[in-house]
């Protein structure tokens, strides 16, 4: 039986479409490496789905910056916004700024500002005792997704702040639970969460009812050493930013590894301890490098090389 199947398997392998190969990422531009106002310690970068503009949190001065799709600075919050150390943020479906920020010594919460940068009355229901959300993203239905330092993923209603569900993504009292990273919503509506502690990406059902994972911890091609962000390109491929390998690993929609691109360095186009990433429908990838006050914009292109 094994002998009869061999020609069939070989033929199947020959007919299977070759996986795409990607060239080194092409740098489109860098946003405000210097200038006024200069970014000092950007912690996250997200895209406004309506305009394609960038929303960047900056822990240094405690501000939110907005850039248009060409990288020109449009807006910065000021002291009137009463932000302290915004770690993660985005624009929600109503054009409001939503951020995770300090609430009291040792704790954080979700804060919300109107389009003018003025604080709004918003009191999210705590997801746990001493709940302190660190990462934040929008769910497919506009709700707020957060991950705290214990690895607790939670979803809150955007109108009332009510807790809709929560799911522990790390074992109790695990010392590396704080390495569970920023959630991202995939084209299939599921929630993808990088977990640098285990070198994997956790995939959660949209309603929080179940989860699974993919990825192998390591430093070889296709391994994940320290994944910190997930995004999706226009073809549904999964992009995983690896802070320790200084690359973007590319997986297909079935989570099969395709390639990794990027290089370590401090020159334009290099990665050095990247901390955040977003991807747009036009093929651009936005990589945030907090230690260098730097947002780089790349474009990935497939090649004919195999």
Phi/psi for 279 (5° steps) reads -135, 140
How far is Cα of residue 185 from the mean position of the Cα atoms in its chain? 9
Q: Domains in the chain, ordered, with CATH?
A: 22-301 (2.120.10.30)
Give the residue-averaged pLDDT of 36-41.
71
Q: Is the pLDDT of residue 205 over 50?
A: yes
Where does the pLDDT of residue 277 fall: very low under 50, low under 70, confident under 90, or very high at 90 and above?
very high
Contact criterion met (CB below 8 Å) for 127 and 152: yes
Phi/psi for 105 (5° steps) reads -55, 120
Round to whole Å and give the CA distance between 181 and 193. Answer: 6
- What confidence tens digit (pLDDT) does each residue in 256-271 have? 999 998 888 888 778 8
Q: Strand ranges (DSSP E) for 161-266? A: 163-168, 184-185, 191-195, 200-204, 211-214, 227-232, 238-242, 247-251, 257-261
Q: Kindly tell me the burial class for residue 167, based on how many C-beta atoms sit within 10 Å of its own C-beta (0-12, 13-18, 19 or more).
A: buried
DSSP SS3 for 42: strand
- What confidence tens digit (pLDDT) does each residue in 214-245 have? 999 999 999 999 999 999 998 899 999 999 99
- What confidence tens digit (pLDDT) does each residue in 145-177 have? 999 999 999 999 999 999 999 999 999 889 999
Task: Give the pTM.
Answer: 0.89
282, two tokens: 């036009």
Spatial neighbors of 70 by CB under 8 A, at least 6 apart, are none
């Amino acid at each position: 039986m094994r002998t009869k199947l061999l020609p069939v398997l070989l033929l199947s392998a020959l007919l299977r479409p070759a996986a795409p190969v990607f060239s080194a990422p092409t740098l489109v531009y860098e946003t405000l490496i210097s200038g006024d106002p200069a970014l000092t310690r950007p912690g996250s970068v997200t895209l406004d789905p309506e305009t394609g503009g960038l929303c960047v949190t900056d822990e240094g001065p405690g501000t939110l910056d907005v850039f248009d799709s060409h990288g020109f600075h449009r807006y910065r919050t000021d002291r009137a916004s009463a932000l302290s150390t915004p770690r993660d943020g985005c624009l929600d479906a109503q054009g409001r700024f939503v951020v995770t920020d300090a609430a009291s010594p040792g704790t954080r919460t979700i804060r919300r500002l109107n389009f003018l940068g003025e604080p709004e009355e918003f009191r999210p229901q705590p997801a746990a005792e001493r709940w302190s959300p660190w990462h934040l993203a929008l769910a497919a239905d506009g709700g707020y997704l957060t991950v705290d330092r214990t690895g607790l993923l939670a979803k809150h209603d955007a109108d009332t702040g009510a807790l809709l569900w929560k799911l522990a993504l790390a074992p109790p009292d695990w010392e590396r639970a704080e390495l569970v990273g920023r959630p991202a919503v995939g084209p299939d509506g599921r929630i993808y969460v990088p977990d640098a502690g285990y070198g994997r990406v956790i995939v959660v059902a949209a309603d929080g009812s179940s989860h699974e994972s993919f990825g192998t911890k390591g430093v070889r091609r296709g391994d994940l050493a320290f994944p910190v962000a997930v995004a999706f390109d226009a073809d549904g491929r999964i992009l995983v930013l690896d802070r320790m390998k200084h690359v973007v690993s590319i997986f297909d929609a079935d989570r099969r590894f395709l390639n990794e691109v990027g290089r370590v360095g401090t020159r334009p186009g290099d990665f050095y301890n990247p901390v955040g990433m977003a991807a747009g429908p036009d093929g651009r990838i936005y990589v945030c490098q907090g230690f260098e006050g730097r947002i780089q914009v790349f474009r990935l292109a497939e090649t004919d090389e195999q």
